[in-house]
Amino acid sequence: AAGVIQSPRHLIKEKRETATLKCYPIPRHDTVYWYQQGPGQDPQFLISFYEKMQSDKGSIPDRFSAQQFSDYHSELNMSSLELGDSALYFCASSFRNTEAFFGQGTRLTVV
Amino acid sequence: AQSVTQLDSQVPVFEEAPVELRCNYSSSVSVYLFWYVQYPNQGLQLLLKYLSGSTLVKGINGFEAEFNKSQTSFHLRKPSVHISDTAEYFCAVSEGRAAGNKLTFGGGTRVLVKP
């Protein structure tokens, strides 16, 4: 069965650079979620989209933005990167308010 | 606001022994409850979920959990663990209206299965 696809799997950026993470949800899923998992931490909700509209917002820094495109894929844009942004970023998708399925994550390292 | 507490940060257990991972939640509304497993350098895989109905929920890989509303708990159990069960386990809640709402996770429990 198709799963949530995230790219890239690994990303190394320098401080103050910009990063773009991509997420391709499971086909027919209408909701996309982004989570951030710091080292040794539990995942923290960042933002979600339902049918291409932002549906909920968590503890997402102002330096971050996200959107969902017409083909339902989503991108998380992160600017002015800081060392503390180093984390595993998960995308998840769901269909009509059922449970969320997670991707493998993108490991971002800021140096 | 909802919160999730996993009472044990680490649980060492011998192979073929039983294991129980404890999870308590607090919420002002009805919730949906989940257990996810995360293997090293992997994503989160859904083990099981409680949405409604029977309070005893069976999941994949021989895991089961029991929802106890009066104690606001959702403990995860497995009668006999394997080495391959070594992983981090997260309890999570989705508040109110739908299972598709954002998840609030507990701090995780690292299970180390010893031979």
DSSP string, A41-109: ---EEEEEEETTEEEEE-S--TTEEEEE-TTS-EEEEE-S--GGG-EEEEEEEESTT---EE---EEEE
Q: Is A47 on the interface with B (CB under 8 A)?
A: no
**CA-CA distance, A103 to A43, in Å (whole number)?**
13
**More confident position, B81 or B54:** B81
Percent of chain A with pLDDT over 90: 83
Q: Which residues pair with A22 in a beta bridge?
A: A7, A75
**CA-CA distance, B16 to B1, in Å (whole number)?**
39
Name the 3-class secondary structure at B73.
Answer: strand
pLDDT band of residue A44 (cuts 50, 70, 90) is very high
Do the chains contact at A102 and B108, CB–CB below 8 Å?
Answer: no
**CA-CA distance, A39 to A110, in Å (whole number)?**
13
Do the chains contact at B101 and A43, CB–CB below 8 Å?
Answer: no
pLDDT at B52: 83
pLDDT band of residue B111 (cuts 50, 70, 90) is very high
- Quote the mean pLDDT of chain B: 91
Query: pLDDT at residue B98 above 60?
Result: no
- Quote the mean pLDDT of chain A: 94
Do B63 and B48 meet the contact criterion of CB atoms below 8 Å apart? yes
Q: Is A51 on the interface with B (CB under 8 A)?
A: no
pLDDT at A88: 95
Tell me what the mean pLDDT of segment B74-100 comes to.
88
pLDDT at B8: 94
